[in-house]
Amino acid sequence: MKRIALQPHSLTYADRIFSLTSAPEVKEALGLQVDTVDDTIDFLQAVMAEELDGKTVSRAIINEYGDLIGITTLMFINRESGTCSLGTWIGHEYWGQGYNVSAKYAILQIAFAELGLKRVFIGARLVNKRSQAAQKKLPFITWNVEADFPEMHAALEEKEKQPCLLNVVHRAHFPLVRLASTRDIPSVQEVARAAWHRIYEGLIPRDVQDAFWDQAYEPDRLTKRMESLFWVAERGGKVIGFADAVLEKRSAALQAIYLHPDAQGAGIGTWLLYAILNELPKSSSITAEVETGNVSGEQFYMSRGFTCTAQYDNDFFGHTLRTKRMQRSCTQIKKGVSS
């Protein structure tokens, strides 16, 4: 997934949005009838008015270079039923780069964590195979719920004036990322033990693992760690992963990113990492340490911009480990928007 930021709308974005929506591929996908910048300004004013009325939450998608690349919107918000619909579009030149998935993760955090909704519907025209393919990349989505929610499906087809499929994301299935609190300590301990046993089986003797775990995840020590940058991911009210880091002037040391073995492969580790990166000062750096043999851990960091800066032997509770120090810069996403 790509690192993005969501920004509230501004009329200053009109030229950029008009430029992106003028691409034939985007116009065709969205069925837009936007012919001038003034039409885009009218759209932005309408969306901002709907947000003031509590009907909509719409955000500009800003990529890691500060470019506005699309829009993602929670529509038809119904607080009584705890539902809304979600629509996202990405500028044509940014298709196929992972921005759509990142934008949906971010806006769904708003839907579930801030608005407290229960489910978010995501539709697609049957002819729009690209949109359907993009939705299939979301590991937390439930497909083809037309029979379960016939009124919502009928409203979607009426809006689009053509056959559509209907999918839904349930809050209980979505990984929410939030700051940790001391009430999370038992769950963090459970995740850490399960993750350590899975990752280091065959690399570190079990008794050595347990000796480290007893020290590093002792309640008082975890309480102290939670005074720094400490985030958890939860799904269905259960903590399934965590990440923490220590900030030191213009650098940070990542202490851990661990997921429960049952939570692997859903992009949760990436979101935990991004939660920490977004809290770090501009133009800072972050380091992580990975034991040789932890192939999945090393691949995780390398695919997210880390490089190996040093290798050394580490006396780990009487067991010698070959350790790699990984590092990356973590410049904040720029707030400016390209024109």
Contact 146, 156 (CB under 8 A): no
What's 203's domain CATH number? 3.40.630.30
pLDDT value of position 335? 47
Task: Report strand pairing: 119-125 vs 83-90.
Answer: parallel
Same domain, 108 and 168: yes
pLDDT interval class at 331 (50, 70, 90): low
Return the structure tokens found at 105. Answer: 């993760």
Report the DSSP beta bridge partners of residue 290.
Answer: 324
More confident residue, 231 or 314: 231
The pLDDT tens digits for 92-141 are 999 999 999 999 999 999 999 999 999 999 999 998 888 898 898 898 99
52: pLDDT strictly greater than 80:
yes
Same domain, 139 and 265: no
More confident residue, 233 or 331: 233
Same domain, 15 and 144: yes
Query: How many domains does the chain contain in total?
Result: 2
Domain range enclosing 251: 176-329
67: pLDDT strictly greater than 90:
yes
Return the structure tokens found at 62. Answer: 């800003």
The pLDDT tens digits for 269-294 are 999 999 998 888 777 899 999 998 99
pLDDT value of position 338? 42
pLDDT value of position 337? 45
Same domain, 168 and 245: no
Query: pTM above 0.85?
Result: yes
Residue 202 lies in a domain: yes
Give CB contacts under 8 A, 24+ apart, made by 191-198: 191/239, 191/240, 191/241, 191/242, 191/258, 191/259, 191/260, 192/216, 192/217, 192/242, 192/256, 192/258, 193/217, 194/260, 194/261, 195/258, 195/259, 195/260, 195/261, 196/258, 198/261
Instruction: In whole angstroms, give the CA distance from residue 334 to residue 62.
Output: 8
Could you tell me what percent of the chain has a pLDDT over 90? 77
